[in-house]
Amino acid sequence: MKVNRRRFLQGTAAAAASVGGFAPNAWAEDPISVASIHDLSGGLDIYGKPMVDALTLAVEEANAAGGLLGRKIKLINYDTQSNMQLYTQFAQQAALKDKVAVVHGGITSASREVIRPVLGRFKTLYFYNTQYEGGVCDRNQFDTGVTPAQTVEKLVPYAMKKWGKKVYVIAADYNYGQITSQWVKKYVTENGGEVSSIDFFPLDVTNFGSTISKIQAAKPDFVWSALVGGAHMSFYRQWAAAGMRKSIPMASTTFAVGNEHIVLSPDECNGMLVCYNYFQDLKNKTNEAFVAGFHKRFGADYPNVTELAMGTYQGFRIWAEAVKKAGTIDRIKVIEALETGISIDAPSGKVTIDPPTHHCVLDVHIAEVNDKKLKVLEDFAQQKPSDTAAVCDLIKNPADNQQYVIKI
């Protein structure tokens, strides 16, 4: 770092101030900037808004508790408007102009792959807090969302036991859907079942009529949905309108993440099975306190704290914990602190960073959609990201930087 006169004066002034021992809310230094890069408008905002709300709450809580390292935290929100180009632009702006300590953001896997190289190049720590298809191996990135080995592996046998062995998969047509559907196929085959077909849909498709006919012709025991976004929600409507909900049940890795279960009527989605890390109705003290705080901040009529919102909240908390442990916001030191396998007691249960993969060990739950609520049916404690662990070891090979498409 070049030391010029201004920087020297700033530094000494800050040092003097901290020696002077001001009251804690007369913040001693510049605030720590944290970037939030999420879609707050456009087709993906059903996911982005709750994520930003959760991050806002996490930052406010941290500031109320005295900030980090005696410094206030400043959250900078960038709205990417469901537009991939803006992800590049804002990631560069966050890293180069605003010089943030960490970026929390990215929703779709496509957007993650847009900002990951940018933040790697400009050496800015990156937290991706969305459940996704797994396989990202990058020392600069931490992933607090669940991956297929944690959810699909549990939900496939559960659904097969309940409904039968023949599965029809429908998925969004980009890396998330393509890879996740392969995982579904792997686990279905391993459990002695059969995937009769996998159909992909571009994100703007709204007419599912012929697909619904095709599914009926294939006569599966159940349908697996990895559909994404507002347009795809019409699949569930058309499915119910064709009278299919009662004859062929459905499981999903994406449903309810955008509160689809509240937007759709119970008649259109009751009985659907999902599997995530977090549900608002989880019974534990930390979660009850969290939900109460969330409702106090955003109103008691807030529809539902989603899986992605909780991922983002937990991502920020883990990062903050690592900064405390490292005693600095220096990127490498924070990464090293995270790589000690740091853990927090979060609303979803204990969440621990898995050092070799930079993913998380956490609890998952299977739940059923029931009258606009998600009813938890079964719990699985402390699941490891074994999919990514099969290919990625950042402790042995810290220079690794790619997304593995796991051979299935």
Q: Which is nearer to other proteins, 260 or 363 (CB)?
A: 260
Query: Tokens for 274?
Result: 């999902």
Question: Parallel, antiparallel, or unpaired for β 141-143 and 194-201?
Answer: unpaired
Q: Tell me the closest approach of the beta carbon of residue 206 to other proteins, in angstroms.
A: 4
| φ, ψ dihedrals at 29, nearest 5° | -130, 180
Q: Tell me the closest approach of the beta carbon of residue 33 to other proteins, in angstroms.
A: 27
Distance of CA 199 to the CA centre of its chain: 24
Q: Which residue has the tokens 């079942």?
A: 193
State which of positions 6-65 bind other proteins (CB under 8 A). 41-43, 45-46, 49
Beta-bridged to residue 223, according to DSSP, are 168, 250
* Cα first-last separation, the chain: 47
Q: Is residue 233 part of the contact set for other proteins (CB under 8 A)? A: yes
Q: Which residue has the tokens 């938890």?
A: 376
State which of positions 142-181 bind other proteins (CB under 8 A). 173
Q: Which is nearer to other proteins, 183 or 239 (CB)?
A: 239
Question: Which of 212, 329, 337, 361 contacts other proteins by CB under 8 A?
Answer: 212
Q: Tell me the closest approach of the beta carbon of residue 308 to other proteins, in angstroms.
A: 15
Question: Which of 11, 24, 70, 209 contacts other proteins by CB under 8 A?
Answer: 209
Beta-bridged to residue 313, according to DSSP, are none
| φ, ψ dihedrals at 42, nearest 5° | 85, -175
Q: Tell me the closest approach of the beta carbon of residue 242 to other proteins, in angstroms.
A: 4
Question: Which of 202, 271, 341, 398 contacts other proteins by CB under 8 A?
Answer: 202
CB atoms near residue 22 (< 10 Å): 12
Residues in contact with other proteins, total (CB under 8 A)?
42
What torsion, rounded to 10 degrees, do the Cα atoms 143, 149, 150, 154 define? 160
Question: Which of 206, 382, 397, 402 contacts other proteins by CB under 8 A?
Answer: 206
Which run of H or of E encompasses 346?
strand 343-346
Residue numbers at the binding site for other proteins (CB under 8 A): 41-43, 45-46, 49, 173, 199-202, 204-214, 216-217, 230-231, 233-234, 237-238, 240-244, 247, 259, 263-265, 267-268
